[in-house]
Amino acid sequence: MDRNPQMIEAEMTEAEVATQQLATEGAAAVAAVPYVSLSKKEKKALRKANRIRESVLDVILAVVNVVLLLVGTVIIILPLLNYFSLAFNDGYHNLEVVLWPTKFSLFPFEYIFRGDGAVDFWTSFGNSVIITLIVTVVSNLVEAMAAYVLSKKDCPFRSGIMMFFIITMLFSAGIVPIRLLMTMLNLNDTIWSVVLISISNVTHLLYFKTFFEGIPTDIEEAARLDGASELQLFFLIVIPMSLPIIGSCCFFTIVGTWNGYGSALLFITDTPKNVGVMPLAYYIYYFMNKAAKDQTDFEFTMNSANIQAAMMLLSIVPIVMMYPYVVRYIKSGLQIGSVKG
């Protein structure tokens, strides 16, 4: 019996629908199977099926990224290895050092821990700890409080105040007015001049402000209905919710303050009587100049470069020890704080 074209077309349509249903059910069945229970061959086939084809441009960019990463790693690692080698090397054999000590010696560390430089080095180390703690706490607290107020749309003169902060990022009064201010306050040759000049950081204020703008207003309204004051709302609700951005800003403040010596260079004179108020980075700078001029002690002169390398290695220990504990906050904090919402 001959079938007309309409019957053939209807049968084909039914077959296509049935095939599609079987494919859907099969895909659902595969998706329902745990990935762990699949065999190696099935896992490989599944990865191959789900792999996104990369264009030639994507491959080129990936290769360039890897090359730049390797070059940057080498640029960072080689100087560290060289300073590590110098720190544990005998000063009489420094010319032979490249990436590993040629003649092992602990004289640089003996000088720092028990020698003539022990008191000055650890005093400056303590000064850096004090300066860093004060600047980190005060700076981020003031910036967070200012950013919280400016994140509210009903804040009076909000636009004008923000413009004032942004202008200070673009233009500076210069060194002379700041120097005159410190002289008027009688803060020259003290650690408080370094503290005062290091507190302000408008970039962190913008990070805080953007983050606070993303906090739902319903949470704050519920706290106010429960009788919370603005200070309670800020310290008990907003601050605990803002740990990622706080951790990121605090870490960057610590690194910048700990490694900075520009402020100390401006306000602390590099004389022996001021060694007791020098931060660590500035003391290392002072020690390098002192070692270049002092030729009276032959043993010290021959090992001065090794002592400098040992001081630099010891100076990075606190930052290296701290980094693993705050790295989880840095990425999430900056991603959340740099994009509104």
What is the structure's pLDDT at 269? 85
pLDDT band of 142, cuts 50, 70, 90:
very high
pLDDT band of 67, cuts 50, 70, 90:
very high
The Cα–Cα gap between 246 and 333 comes to 8
Q: Is the pLDDT of residue 297 over 80?
A: no
Q: Would you call 104 helix, strand, or coil by DSSP?
A: strand
Q: Residue 260 burial (CB < 10 Å; 0-12/13-18/19+)? A: buried
pLDDT band of 27, cuts 50, 70, 90:
very low
| Residue percentage of the chain with pLDDT more than 90 | 10
Name residue, tokens 């306000």: 267
What is the structure's pLDDT at 22? 46
What is the structure's pLDDT at 3? 53
The Cα–Cα gap between 264 and 266 comes to 5
**C-alpha to C-alpha distances, 279 to 77, 114, 188, 257, 273, nearest whole angstrom:** 26, 20, 14, 10, 14
Q: Residue 239 burial (CB < 10 Å; 0-12/13-18/19+)? A: middle
Q: Greater confidence, 94 or 60?
A: 60
- The average pLDDT across 303-322 equals 86
Lowest mean pLDDT among 23-37, 102-116, 246-260: 23-37
pLDDT tens for each residue of 258-283: 988 888 888 888 888 888 888 998 88
Q: Which of 171, 173, 195, 172 is nearest to 267 (CA)?
A: 195
Q: Residue 35 burial (CB < 10 Å; 0-12/13-18/19+)? A: exposed
The Cα–Cα gap between 113 and 79 comes to 24
pTM for the structure as a whole: 0.74
pLDDT band of 30, cuts 50, 70, 90:
very low
